[in-house]
Chains A and B, each alone.
Chain A
Amino acid sequence: MNNPIETENLGKRYGNVKAVEHLSLQVAEGEIYAFLGLNGAGKTTTIRMLLGMIKPTSGYARVLQTRVRIGSREPWKSVGYMVEDPHAYSELTVYENLEVARRLHPGTPPKAVGQMIERLSLGAYASRRAGTLSHGNAQRLGLAKALIHNPKLLILDEPANGLDPAGIVEIRELLLKLTSEQGGTIFMSSHILAEVSRLAGRIGIIHQGKLLQELNTDELERNRKRRLLLRVRDIGSAHRTLIAAGLPAEILQDGTIELKHASSIERPDDINQLLVNSGTPPTRLMVEEEELEEYFLRLVGMDKGLQNE
């Protein structure tokens, strides 16, 4: 398999602190892989190890079939990246910063600078010093620097960080276009599940340095908790009817009846019929899916912690 990214038992330890441990993952060609985790979960440490900026204390990483070694100049010709905040030389203009990025990737034609400015909608800021850019435009500049040499693989650390909703949509479309039209591969980190679920084909969830789960978007949908919520005028009577029918129902504090049983969620029309026949027709009936963020927090074991706060 020619996976653009492969890690085997990758780990990084700082003294007694295990920043990343036993990380084994594969990212397939043409895939958008989202690396999801809370702040401090080990996302950036993993990205820095993938880019040869820090030495792993265990295991190894392969990027574009090359084993990553610290300080090496392989395989970066076809890799674009953005790590943490998008810093630029504040005294140089947007154009000059891109010119610097171009010269750091020998063989990139001079016209690439203009093309990137156009592609990332930076035309109005081309002559402005990078130090005066808003966070959103600085993020665009960071992405333009990562893309300037037309890389096969993009490694992006929180690419939508600081962007406004329009900017997030724009970046999402740009990244989708990159993979669909050019067959590029993207490995991106994020701490917002809702954001990556619309973009990524596969999601790896990291918590406290460990990969908890890998799932594709279909699995994500299946794994999310669902429930049927009912509102009726006579709560007591409706509840008794449901219990008598062998359906475990619970009355919530706001008077809503909650059903978690799979058959209830799959066939809400049957529940409706049952209640209509018993003379307590529902005034509201709704299948609710667990929010992505709730699902994520449940997965990393932080849902109870937040509820208690």
Chain B
Amino acid sequence: MEELIIPAIIAIVVAFFSVYGLTPIVIRALEKRNITVVDVNKKEKTMIARPGGLSIIVGIEASLIILYVFFPISEILAVILTTFFAFLVGLIDDKKTMGGWFKPLALAFCAAPILLLGAYDSNLDFPLFGSVKIPLLYIALVVFMIPIMGNTINSIDVLNGVASGFTTIASFALSICLFILQNYEIGIVCLCLAFSSLAFYKFHKFPSRIFPGDSGAITFGAAYGAIAIIGQVEVIAAVAILPAIINSFLFLSSVKKIVEHREIKNPVIHTDDWKLKASPEKKAPVTLVRLLIAKKPLSEKQIGIEIFKLATFSGILAIITAFMMGVSL
């Protein structure tokens, strides 16, 4: 345990400060090249730099490579490769808007390093009841996990700071769970993701100076999914991001097909004082945000805080689930 402390501190410091230091440079570079988008939820229609995936991937990869030098295990290498490939998929989607099926299919291939390096265990662990061995089904789970996590985090990237703040809360909760389960190396890997997203949140929080874009949001999701698989905490990881899963679930159950989110009607509209309120449009999809403002309009910042409360609640449920893993009925 003691031998993990120094590598952990070095990796965490690199994860945080590389994103913290690089993001302003990325913002300036994007603004200089006019690679910006309108922040549709601001009255002034501010132009915001996008995508910020580059600084996120540098932070995650640099810290994980340092960890890999200290602990050359295939699990860490699998996260490094999977996250990098997912970043490339997101970057392609940032440059050119692809169809609704492009991301899920391309992200499914990003799970290849996990399978090829054998960085998984085909036992699926459940709280209270133990584990079930599902060799073939587990391979399908690995292939589906990366697209699902990538798109789930991407789908909540709708307001200032939400994707990075949500990933920070979920990753810290998952790190605590991994430490409870005494999976220390992977717990440190998850802390690297948590600190990278925390550093990015500094620039992404309301009012945003940069948006993560698909390359950033998918990188967060893919890294999170890969950690869930190699850490054998798939169920706990799903519990920690339940609000985002609810968002995807509500969206899919109302739209009833997989579409690129830019193709659909905006589920929210603005009031005169520029708060967000639920769209009366019947064809607009149901989302978590629309549900939060169904009763009364809220400001963008207030909605973000409500989502973080839900994320914290899910994180607590995930930690309870981790404790329940040690209990057998």
A binds B: no
Residues of chain A whose beta carbon lies under 8 Å from any beta carbon of chain B: none
Residues of chain B whose beta carbon lies under 8 Å from any beta carbon of chain A: none
